[in-house]
């Protein structure tokens, strides 16, 4: 992520730190940023609200991590 943006890892972390809400911890904000970046790079829709960037409420069985249908 950092390399793609022409930033050092520390600079990317600092940018995420500046942009996170007061109620979010830095580690959580970094995880969300990584997930959003991955979602965008894979063209996956539906995991995050397009307007707010917040994770949408989905059940764990809705995620298809191993290729199964979750059933």
The mean pLDDT value for 37-44 works out to: 79
Residue 64 pLDDT > 50, yes or no? no
Separation between Cα atoms, residue 2 and residue 34, nearest integer Å = 10
Tell me if 26 sits within 8 A of 16, measured CB to CB: yes
Q: Is the pLDDT of residue 8 over 90?
A: yes
Give the pLDDT confidence score for residue 13 in this predicted structure: 92
Strand partners, 55: 48
Q: How confident is the model at residue 42 (pLDDT cuts 50, 70, 90)?
A: confident
Instruction: Please list, in sequence order, all residues whose beta carbon lies within 8 angstroms of the beta carbon of residue 11, skipping any fewer than 6 positions away.
Output: 2
């Amino acid at each position: 992520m950092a390399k793609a943006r022409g930033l050092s890892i520390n600079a990317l972390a600092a940018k995420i730190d500046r942009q996170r809400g007061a109620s979010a911890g830095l580690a959580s904000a970094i995880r969300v940023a990584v997930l959003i970046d991955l979602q965008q790079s894979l063209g996956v829709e539906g995991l995050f609200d397009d307007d707010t960037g917040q994770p949408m409420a989905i059940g764990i069985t809705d995620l298809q991590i191993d290729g199964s249908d979750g059933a």
